[in-house]
Structure 1
Amino acid sequence: MHDLQVLRDGGYRGEGLRKFKLNNALSSFPDEILELGDTLEELDLSSTGLSSLPANFGAELPHLKVAHFNNCKFEVFPKELASCPNLRAVYLRANGMVGIPEDALPHSLLSLILTNNNLTSLPTSIGQCTNLEKLHIAGNQLTSLPTSLSNCTNLTHLRLNSNRLASLPDWLLTLPNLSALSFARNPCASPVANGTSKTPFGLANIPWRDLELRDLPPRDPSHPVIPGLWKQSEHYTEDVAIQLFQGGPNDSGSPADELAARLAAGAHESLITVLGQIYDHPDENGNSSGEPYYGGTVTQLVPECYTPLGRARSEQEASSAEREEIGAETPSITAACAISMLTGLAGALSHLHSHGIAHGDISSRNVLASKEDEHALLGGFHAATIYGRGHAQEEHIERVEVLAFGYLIDDMLELLANLEDETRGVQGLEDLRQKCAVAEVEDRLTFDEVVEELEGMMGWRGMMRIPTVPGPS
C-alpha cells in the first residue's frame, strides 16, 4: 500500500515503480500518478470512490497492463481506458455502472471483470476485443448478449450468473475455446422451470447444536470448509467438514446457487459426500454482518493424504487463459495413477450432467488427489449451474466442459514421472486430450465416452491396456 501524501510530495517519482496502490478516499484522480508512467504496469485504486479519469490517462501510462477500480463510482465505463495500448485486465466490480459507451473497451484486453453492476447491455464494439479470454459479468441486468461477442473466439471463461437471460444464444456454445461457463440465476437456468428439485433426498437434517467446530485452518482459504465434529448421539461422534454458504454474489456466482447445486448433485465416489444439511444456525434469521445466509452442509472429512492438484495464479498476473499452475508440493505419479484419477473425475462429471448440472470450473485447483489411493475428488461448486435435464442445449453445455477436462488431462501429464517408461500411457492420454479439445464443439466426446476410453486404457482390475504405439515403418 502506498501513501497519498508521499505521492503528492513527489516521493515515488523516479523509483521505477511497476505497481501502485492507494485506498484513500479520492474526490479526483491524483495527477501525480501520471508521473510514474515510465514504468507503471499495475494500478489499484479500488475503494477510493473515484468516478472519473483524466483525458491523458492512456497517453501518460503507456505501459499499464492491469487496472483495478473495484467498489468505486464509475457509473459509466471510463472511455479513457481505451487509449491504454497495453492494457490486459480491467477490474470494475460493484461500481453501480449502468452503461459502456461504444469503443470504450481497450482492444488489447484479456480479462474484463464487471461483476455486480447495473448493466442492461454490452456494446457491440466488444466484438473488437478479439484477445478477450475472461469475461465476468455476473450480477447485472443483461437480457441478451451482442452477436458481435461471437468474434471473441479466444474466450475461455464466461460468468453470466444473476442476470435476466431468457436463453443462451446458440453461437455462444460453439465458441472453440470456451471451457468455463456459468449462468445460474437466469430464467434460462431456473431449477423450477427445468424440473430440477432443490429438495435433497436421503440427507440428514443436522441441528447446529450437534456440531462442534475444530480450531483448524481450512485447507483451501478460498473455499473455507471447516473441520468439525458431528455429535450424533451421546456415544458416537464423527469427524466431518462444515461449510456455511453466505454472502452476496461474486465473480463466480452466488453462494445460494453453490449450495443448491451441491445438494442436487447426489452421491458419487469422486465427489465429496454430503451427509446432511444444517438447520437452526444462529444466522438463519439474520446476522450482525448483514450478509445473507443461505444454509450449510456437513460433508465427509477428506483425509489429509488428499491435496490440491494445482493452485490458481494470482489475479494480477492476468495470464493467458488464467490457467492453474501445478503446485510444487504435488508428487509425481504414474500413468496408471493418472488414468485411475481421471476415470473417477470423468465419471463424476458424467454423473453431474446426468442430473442437469454444469460444474462451471473444472480445474486442477478444484481437485483433491491422493497418490497413495490413485483417487481424486472433484470439489469447488462455486460456479455451478443447475440447467436441468431436457435443456435444449444440454449436449453443447456438456461438451464445453469436456474441453476443460482436456486441460485437466494436460495437468495430469505434467505430473507423470519417468516419461520414458510411460510412453504408452502418455500416448493414450494425449490422444484422449485431443478428442476432448476438438475446435468444433459438437464433435467432442461426451463424458460417458470419455469414461469409456479411460476404462479401456485401464482394462480389467486396473491392468494397463493402452494401445501399442506404432513403430517406424
Structure 2
Amino acid sequence: MHTLEQLRAGALAGVQRLQMRGGLTEFPREIFDLADSLEILDLSSNALSSLPDDLPRLHKMRIIFCSDNQFTELPAVLGACPALTMVGFKANRIGKVAPESLPPLLRWLVLTDNQIEELPDELGRRPALQKLMLAGNRLRALPASMAQLHRLELLRISANQLTELPAWVTSLPRLAWLAYAGNPFCAPRELAMTGAPSSAIGWDQLALKQKLGEGASGLIYRADYRHDGATEDVAVKLFKGAMTSDGSPLCEMAACLGAGAHPNLIPVLGHLERHPEDVHGLVMSLIDPEFINLAGPPSLDSCTRDVYDAGKRFELATTLAIAHGIASATAQLHRRGITHGDLYAHNIMHRPDGSTLLGDFGGASFHDPASAEATALQRLEVRAFGCLLEELAERCDAPSAMQPALARLRALRDACLHPDNAQRPLLSDIAAQLLALKQD
C-alpha cells in the first residue's frame, strides 16, 4: 500500500504498480509523474467518481482497478488509454457503459455488482477479450455482437435479469468457464436445487473453533458438531450473503446441496439453521490435511489459466487418478443438472497418491439435463476439463513404456478442446476412457 505523502515526496519514482486506498475523492495529479514506469494502477476502496481527461498520459498503464468507489458510469477516457488491457470497476454504482469507454486492447473486464441495464454493441468488437465479469447487475439481454468474441474464455453473467441464455453462448469456440445462475430463466431449476434433501443442523449444535480459510463467498471454520451423544470434528462454511465475482452465494449453497455424494466431492453433512443473525451455512466433513491445492488461481498476466508451483511434476498414474476423479465428479454434476462453472486446478485439492476433491461451487449454474441445450452446456464445461488435462499432461512424467498411454491422454485432451462444441465428448464418456487408461 502506498500513501499520498510518499507520492508527493517523490519516493515512488519508477514504480510499476501503485496502490492507494482510503479516502481519495479526487485523482492525485502526482500520479502522472510515474507515467514512464506505471503499469498497474489500483485506486480501489476510495470515494472517486471520475478520472481525469488526460489519463492517457499514463501511456504504459496496462491495468486499472477502481473497485469500491462511487462511479456512476464507466469513464469514457479509459477507451483512449493506449496500453490498457484490464479494467476492474467492481462494486460501484455504474449504470452506463458508453462504447468509447472500452479500450481497443481490452482483455479482461470486471463490472461485477453495479447497476448496468444495457451494454453497448461495441463490446463485441473487442477481439482480445478473454475474461468478462458482469454478475450482479440488471442486464435483461446481452449484445448480439458478443457472438464475435472468439477468444472469450470466462463469462460471469449470474444474478442479472436475463430471461434467456443466448444460443450463441455455447457456440463461442474458446468459452470454458460460464456462470449464469440467479437469472429469471433459471428460477424453476434453482428452486428445485434449493429443495434438495439435506439434514438441518442447528447453530446450537456447533462450537466454532479456528478459521480455516476465506473465499469470495464465505468463511470456513473448524467446529465441533454435537449430535447423537457424540462430538464430530467438522468444517462449517458461513456464507457472507454479498455478491461475489461469480454470483450469489445462495446459488452456491443450492449447488452444494444438489451435487449429491461422490468420492471426489467434499461431503456435505447438512445445512445450517437457527443462526442468530440468519446467516446461511453448510456443515461439511473436515478435509484430511494431506490434501493441498493442485495449483494457484490465474495471475494478472495469465488471465484465464492457473499458476502451478515451479517444477511441479506428476507421475502418469497420479495424473490419471486426478483426471479420472474430477471427470467422474463433474459427470455426476452434469447428470444432476449442474455445471460447476469454475472447473479449475485451483479449485481441486489432491494428495500425493492422486486422491482428489473438487470444491468451490461459487460459479455453479443449473440446467434441465433432459433439455435440448443440456449437452451444449455440458460440452462447454468439457473445454474447461480439456484445459485441466492440458496442464496435467504438460507436467506428466512417463517412462518410454507408458508413452502410448500418455499419447492417448493427449488425444483426449485435444478432443475436449475442439473448437466446435458439438464435436467434444461428454464427461461421462471421458470418465470411462480415463478409467480404462488407469486400468491398463
TM-score where L is the length of structure 1: 0.88
- Residue by residue over 1:339-382, the C-alpha shift from the partner in whole angstroms, topping out at 9 and shown as x without a partner, is 1222221111111111111101000011111223x321111101
Residue 320 of structure 2: aligned partner = 339
Residue 239 of structure 2: aligned partner = 245
- Whether 1:395 aligns to 2:386 is no
- Whether 1:115 aligns to 2:112 is yes
- Residue by residue over 1:161-214, the C-alpha shift from the partner in whole angstroms, topping out at 9 and shown as x without a partner, is 110111111111110110000001001222x2577342232x322112222223
Mark the CA change 1:193 to 1:398 in structure 2 (over 3 Å): closer, same or farther. Answer: closer
Q: d(CA) in 2 for partners of 1:94 and 1:220?
A: 17
- Whether 1:43 aligns to 2:47 is no
Q: d(CA) in 2 for partners of 1:166 and 1:133?
A: 24
Residue 286 of structure 2: aligned partner = 301
Q: d(CA) in 2 for partners of 1:6 and 1:429?
A: 54
Q: d(CA) in 2 for partners of 1:36 and 1:134?
A: 28
- Number of equivalent positions: 440
TM-superposed deviation, 1:28: 2.6
Equivalent position SS for 2:250 = helix
Extract unaligned runs of 5+ from structure 2: none
Q: What does 1:178-217 correspond to in 2, within 5 Å?
A: 178-190=175-187, 192=188, 196-201=192-197, 203-215=198-210, 217=212
TM-superposed deviation, 1:232: 1.6
Residue 53 of structure 1: aligned partner = 51
Q: Judge conservation of contact 1:358–1:385 (CA < 8 Å) in 2.
A: yes
Q: What does 1:421-460 correspond to in 2, within 5 Å?
A: 422-458=402-438
TM-superposed deviation, 1:120: 0.7
| Identity value in percent | 32
Equivalent position SS for 1:282 = coil
Q: What does 1:18-33 correspond to in 2, within 5 Å?
A: 18-33=16-31
TM-superposed deviation, 1:422: 3.7
TM-superposed deviation, 1:127: 1.7
Q: d(CA) in 2 for partners of 1:325 and 1:261?
A: 26
* Among candidates 411, 419, 423, match of residue 391 of structure 2: 411
- Residue by residue over 1:255-287, the C-alpha shift from the partner in whole angstroms, topping out at 9 and shown as x without a partner, is 111101111111112111111112122221xxx
Residue 17 of structure 1: aligned partner = 15
- Residue by residue over 1:294-335, the C-alpha shift from the partner in whole angstroms, topping out at 9 and shown as x without a partner, is x21111112122211111134xx2x244211123596x4321
* Among candidates 266, 271, 275, match of residue 265 of structure 2: 271
- Residue by residue over 1:198-250, the C-alpha shift from the partner in whole angstroms, topping out at 9 and shown as x without a partner, is 2232x32211222222325339798643222222233x222221111223111
- Whether 1:325 aligns to 2:320 is no
For residue 344 of structure 2, what is the amino acid of its counterpart?
S
For residue 16 of structure 1, what is the amino acid of its counterpart?
G
Equivalent position SS for 1:402 = helix
Equivalent position SS for 2:210 = coil
Residue 336 of structure 2: aligned partner = 355
* Among candidates 361, 364, 369, match of residue 345 of structure 2: 364
Q: d(CA) in 1 for partners of 2:22 and 2:265?
A: 44
Equivalent position SS for 1:206 = strand
Equivalent position SS for 1:228 = strand
Extract unaligned runs of 5+ from structure 1: 285-292, 465-473
Whose Rg is larger? 1
For residue 285 of structure 2, what is the amino acid of its counterpart?
Q
Mark the CA change 1:220 to 1:37 in structure 2 (over 3 Å): closer, same or farther. Answer: same
TM-superposed deviation, 1:101: 1.2
Q: Judge conservation of contact 1:156–1:321 (CA < 8 Å) in 2.
A: no
Give the superposed CA RMSD. 2.0
Q: Judge conservation of contact 1:116–1:138 (CA < 8 Å) in 2.
A: yes
- Whether 1:147 aligns to 2:147 is no
